[in-house]
């Protein structure tokens, strides 16, 4: 199994430039990777999924169509 890194909210915010409310709003609209529960009150995101989301946003802004 491939090693995967988990990112906490502060790391996701720093990596994407989005604020907390934007992240959760995009998640609700299914336009952002879902968080995973890692503890009773803790969530995290898979770094690979965040990186993929960033790459899609870059492609969209550059006019590159992805399948």
The C-alpha atoms of residue 61 and residue 42 are separated, in whole angstroms, by 32
CA 67 to chain centroid: 19
**What pLDDT tens digit does each residue of the chain (67 aa) get?**
678 999 999 999 999 999 999 999 999 999 999 999 999 999 999 999 999 999 999 999 988 765 5
CATH classification (class only), 6-61: mainly alpha
Q: Which H or E element spans position 31?
A: none
Angle subtended at Cα 59 by Cα 24 and Cα 46, rounded to the nearest 5 degrees: 40
């Amino acid at each position: 199994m491939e090693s995967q890194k988990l990112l906490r909210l502060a790391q996701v915010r720093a990596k994407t430039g989005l604020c907390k409310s934007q992240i959760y709003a995009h998640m609700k609209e299914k336009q952002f990777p879902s968080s995973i529960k890692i503890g009773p009150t803790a969530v995290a995101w898979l770094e690979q999924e965040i990186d993929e989301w960033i790459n899609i946003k870059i492609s969209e802004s550059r006019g590159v169509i992805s399948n």
